[in-house]
Amino acid sequence: MTGHGGEDFLKFQDAEEVSNVELADAFEQMWQKRRYNELLFIIDTCQAVSMFSRFYSPNLMAIASSQIGEDSLSHHVDPAIGVYIIDRYTYHLLEFLERVKPGSSKTMDQLLKVCPPHHCISTPGFSTHLFARSTDRTLISDFFGSVRTVDLSDDVVRWTARNTSRGNSPEIDETSEKSNFASVDQFLTEIPTAEKSKHPMSETASLALLFVVVSLTIKTFCDFR
């Protein structure tokens, strides 16, 4: 997570904010509903360690870019748009992770040492007391090593309703059909022309409007003289 923040809160686009208590309760609900097995929480904001001070759910590891009372600073500015585009901790973390391959033997203990104070100009912090495994035995690829393969298809696959009472799996109709939908442009390339009105009064109205315009023009010319 990243954004403007302070002690015990993080803001979203200067409109909404979340507190460390709300965040801790959200993770607890996720744990009770079995939404995660192990969770790595990383936050880059001012006074970032305050955001995980209320965590109490199992198997949580948290990393923050700054201590309470410290600011989390930006890294560099884009001269084209005149604003900072990335924070210091995020920059060095990304630089480190780009060198980690799916089969790497690097551990979370090495990740926790990313961006020391002389690089971040703040003091990163972390919390591992809720995490069951040792950080020097937990591979970084356990959290960042996922590789998903996506196959694109324009075939139509027919699914039948799942029969949950008998535990049957969905049946797939192997006779796939090509989609009959026509391909259309995302944006209009031509402005459609309106058809001429077929109302019987349309020509009369046009002549009346022309007569009014001509009359006003003549009156203006006479007044000017």
Q: Which of 23, 125, 52, 43 shows the shortest CA–CA distance to 87? A: 43
Q: How many helices (H) and strands (E) does the chain have?
A: 6, 10
Beta strands in the chain (DSSP E): 5-6, 9-12, 16-19, 39-43, 60-64, 74-78, 83-87, 125-127, 155-159, 172-178
Instruction: Given the residues 46, 92, 115, 120, select the one marked as catalytic.
Output: 46
- Residue 202, token pair as written in the block: 């349309």
119 in catalytic set: no
46 in catalytic set: yes
Residues annotated catalytic, as ranges: 4, 46
